[in-house]
Structures are given as C-alpha cells and as structure tokens.
Amino acid sequence: MIEIKNLHKSFGDKLVLDGVDMEIPAGGTMCVIGKSGCGKSVLLKHIIGLLEPDEGEVLVDGRRIRDLNKNELFDLRRRIGYVFQGSALFDSMTVFENIVISLVEHGEKDIEKLTVEAQRVLSAVGLLPSPDNGDIENFEKEWQVLRNKKPSDLSGGMKKRVGVARALVGEPDYIFYDEPTTGLDPVTSIQIDSLIYQLAHKFNVTSLVITHDMFSVFRIATNVAMLNNGKVQFFGTPDEMRASGDETVQEFLARYL
C-alpha cells in the first residue's frame, strides 16, 4: 500500500503539489489523470524517492521514503517496475540486452539465469509462446529471432510490450506506467490496456498508471485520482467519476471522451 500525506512541492515560484492526500491500495490499478503540468509525474518521482517533498510524506508499505537510507531506497526501487513513456529502449541493444540490463548492472552474469528470466517476462507480455506449452522447437525458434532484434525492428506495440516485460523482471510488487498508450493507434492501445489488466491480476501487482487516455481509464482502473491545481480534485471508482457532480471533473471528461 502506498500512502501520500499532505504532499507539497514547488519548483521556484511554481507550486506543483499543494497538499495531496491519497492512498493507493495493494493489488489494484490506480489511474492518475489531470491536465498537462498538474503534477502527475512529479507525484511518481516522490514515490520512488527521486524527489523530496517540501512538506508532507510518502509511505510505501508503512515505511516513510524520506527515512530510508541509500541501500533501503535501492531495495525499494528493485520492488518497483517502471514503464517509461515511449518505452525508453536502448537503440544500440538487442531485445534480450534491454530486458536483462538491470540484472546485469546488479551483478548477475549467469547467462542461463538471464535467459530464463527474459523468456519468462517476454512470454508474460505475449511476445513469446509459453515455454510450458510443449512445443519446445517452435519456442526456441521464436526466441532466437526475438532476442536479437533491435528496437528499430519492432512496431510501436512491440516496443511497448518489451518495455513492460523489462518492468516485470525480478517480479516487482508495484508497476508504474507513464502514459502507456501515448502514440499508439486505437487497436494497439486496447491491446496494451488488456495487457496491463491481465498482468495486474496474474501477478497480483499494484499498478499506478499516469495517463491522459480516458478510454484506458475506464478499461483498466480500479480507482481514479484526478489532480487539479496541485490538489486531488476527485478520488473514486470510474463509475463514481462518471456520476460525479463536480463541474471540473465533468469538463475534463467532456474534453477527453
């Protein structure tokens, strides 16, 4: 569970977060919405300890982020998978190298262990058949082709799936998605939404999704938080959002739906 209490953050004269209070329950999918510049990404950076609040606090599983030492913060980040906007794959690396980069940087050199983990997560996102389906020859053939592809060889949807697969490495407790459907066509967006939904249930991870895509929100969200003028304008289920009498909420929905 993630708890955000009275969070304030300014950059110079610009007030971005102005007393944000929010709870992100374990096991669900929380979508955070709001206009550009409302503080969605700033909120994410506080949760993973990249920014310190001017006031207030963030707790993950009961532990205050600001109280963690360097090693404890490092351990926390290993429990969080992060899917970047635009996937953020390294162009010079193969799919395999992109997937296992965090393990390699943390000292894992056993090629067999790296291969097994890469195959596991790529199967989880639908880029490889399950290695347990019995067709070992076909699995190995598809694996050898996929592992050596570069990002330039992949479609937008495949890049996004590789980015999600990378976030699944190490079986994280939390996955944060930053605008996961931005730049994708409607059909691929639906496929990515379906993937987010399936992974949340299959692995029982807590998902936090920053998005402008209201169609995605109504497809995947357990709860929705809307930020406006540095505060939480709305918090509730997607159905409660549709029924909200808040004019600001309804204006936002009318603009994006």
List the alpha helices (DSSP H) in the chain: 40-47, 70-78, 95-105, 111-124, 136-147, 156-168, 186-202, 214-220, 238-243, 247-256
pLDDT at 257: 65
CA distance 136 to 248: 55
pLDDT at 149: 97
pLDDT at 74: 87
Q: State the fold for domain 1-79+204-257.
A: Rossmann fold (3.40.50)
Q: Which of 89, 146, 156 is nearest to 119 (CA)?
A: 146
Residue 133: count of CB within 10 angstroms of its CB: 10
* This model's pTM is above 0.85: yes
pLDDT at 86: 78
pLDDT at 221: 96
pLDDT at 122: 95
Mean pLDDT per segment of 10 residues, for the chain of length 257 residues?
Answer: 96 95 91 90 90 95 91 89 88 96 90 95 91 76 95 94 94 93 89 92 92 92 95 96 94 81
pLDDT at 138: 84
